[in-house]
Structure 1
Amino acid sequence: MQPHTLNVHIMHADPVMTAGLRVILGDHADFSVSTHAVCPHALSMAHVIVADYQGGIAAARQMPQDRYSPAPRVLIVTQFDKEWEVRMAMDSGVHGYLLQGCSADELVKATRSLSQGLRHLSESVTRCVADSLSRESLTGRETDVLRLLAQGCCNKSIARELGIGVGTVKTHVKGLMSKLDATARTHAVVVATQRGLIGPSQGLMRRPVNGFHNAALQ
């Protein structure tokens, strides 16, 4: 293998996407492209991993932190474009983030950039991250309260569901409304939905009250 060869390992969960990625990247002579379904052991030699959203996050979190043996760089190609989705991926150690539908040239450019130790985000993703960094993030508990507000729950119901006092609920509501620059509870839900912090009809996943929060919404 020549020193300049770039080993790209595709771990995308979508077989059609995998086929397309393989064709595009494999069209470049300096790329050695492998797919996880056919050649899983090639992962150990990869410089760049191209994956779907969940697979990319899992791969990034499992990479060893060894400065003497650099870990592969992770590039996600996905349709997920919500603020919290992008931020969770970046916080997990993902190095590149492209949206499905990007051009073949951008895919190749992103792969090369990651191999050089750089980051690459789609333009719309870059704007999303920049906008989110300019705003104060909701805490995990504020997000829990917000999602219950979206279900139409009153303060007493929220307090009962989360195992906290009504006064504490009021404090969280006041805090999240301030962070969302909302003028009313329903306005806060609308703003949060527009920003992708909660889905249009997303409710709180029922779970025992134990102090832990959904990792994707922290």
Structure 2
Amino acid sequence: MLVVDDHPMMRDGLRATIELETDMQVAGEAVDGAQAIELFEALRPDVTLLDLQMPHVDGLQALTAIRKLKPDASIVVFTIYPGDARVTQALTLGATSYLLKSARKDEIVAAIRAAAHGQQVIAAEISDELAANQGRAVLTVRELSLLRLVKEGMSNRLIAESLFLSEDTVKTYMKNILLKLGASDRTHAVTIAQRRGFIDS
């Protein structure tokens, strides 16, 4: 299998855990998404354990590229991000399973083994998050762009200038964002969006 994570200690820990199993072997390790794509093409592992937040090419970009190389690739996303928007995006792009880095060693091993047989494993916390937000409206690309600028502390006027919109249009977008997220104000909207994985923390 292929282990992809930009933290050396995390890779070392995963390798040690995996290589205790008689039916598993780490064929390669990648430090970012770009190297993950290269190694996947060269090694064609049965399972890829993939972090999302990495420099240069992130996990979602790597996931997309790997699935183009091999549409039925077994990919277990292994990340600190439980937000339902990020989970949904990863699964839509073709992730086989989704685990949090808080998972126990036996849960990681079981998920890898299941993925090798084409079976999906979703962490319980993530399943709960998906269920809690099922049916809720998603944010559009424009709304996400606006919310990222709100996160940077920009006023409506500055956001309007940056996105080439009128200030009234920005206010309308903000009302829609607050409604969709169930937020009480701009700061609350950013907090919810970060928790759910719409924007980075």
Q: TM-score range by the shorter chain?
A: 0.7 to 0.9
TM-score normalised by length of structure 2: 0.76
Deviation at 1:120, TM superposition (A): 1.4
SS in 1 for 2:82: coil
CA RMSD of aligned residues (A): 2.9
**1:57, 1:89 within 8 Å by CA — same for their partners in 2?**
yes
SS in 2 for 1:120: coil
In 2, the alpha carbon distance for the partners of 1:134 and 1:171 equals 22
Q: Percent identity?
A: 30
In 1, the alpha carbon distance for the partners of 2:158 and 2:71 equals 50
Give the alignment of 1:18-97 within 5 angstroms.
18-36=11-29, 40=39, 43-53=42-52, 54=54, 56-64=59-67, 71-97=72-98
More displaced, 108-117 or 78-87? 78-87
- Bigger-Rg structure (1/2): 1
- Name the aligned partner's letter for residue 73 of structure 1: S
Deviation at 1:162, TM superposition (A): 0.8
**2:15, 2:26 within 8 Å by CA — same for their partners in 1?**
yes
TM-aligned CA distance change 1:181 to 1:120, over 3 Å: same
Deviation at 1:18, TM superposition (A): 1.7
Deviation at 1:29, TM superposition (A): 1.7
More displaced, 115-124 or 71-80? 71-80
Give the corresponding residue for 2:115. Answer: 114
Tell me whether 1:129 sits opposite 2:130 in the alignment: yes
SS in 1 for 2:25: strand
- Name the aligned partner's letter for residue 165 of structure 2: I
Give the corresponding residue for 2:146. Answer: 145
SS in 1 for 2:26: strand
In 2, the alpha carbon distance for the partners of 1:160 and 1:81 equals 34
Tell me whether 1:10 sits opposite 2:9 in the alignment: no
TM-score normalised by length of structure 1: 0.71
Structure 1, unmatched stretches of 5+, are 1-7, 201-218
In 1, the alpha carbon distance for the partners of 2:6 and 2:156 equals 41
Between structures 1 and 2, the one with greater helix share:
2
In 2, the alpha carbon distance for the partners of 1:194 and 1:100 equals 16
Structure 2, unmatched stretches of 5+, are 31-38
In 1, the alpha carbon distance for the partners of 2:150 and 2:183 equals 13
In 1, the alpha carbon distance for the partners of 2:169 and 2:115 equals 45
More displaced, 94-103 or 151-160? 151-160
Residues 59-114 of structure 1: CA distance to partner in whole angstroms, max 9, x if unpaired? 32113558xx7643111222233344333322332222211131111111101111
In 2, the alpha carbon distance for the partners of 1:41 and 1:167 equals 48
TM-aligned CA distance change 1:183 to 1:116, over 3 Å: same
Deviation at 1:174, TM superposition (A): 1.9
SS in 1 for 2:95: coil
**2:81, 2:197 within 8 Å by CA — same for their partners in 1?**
no
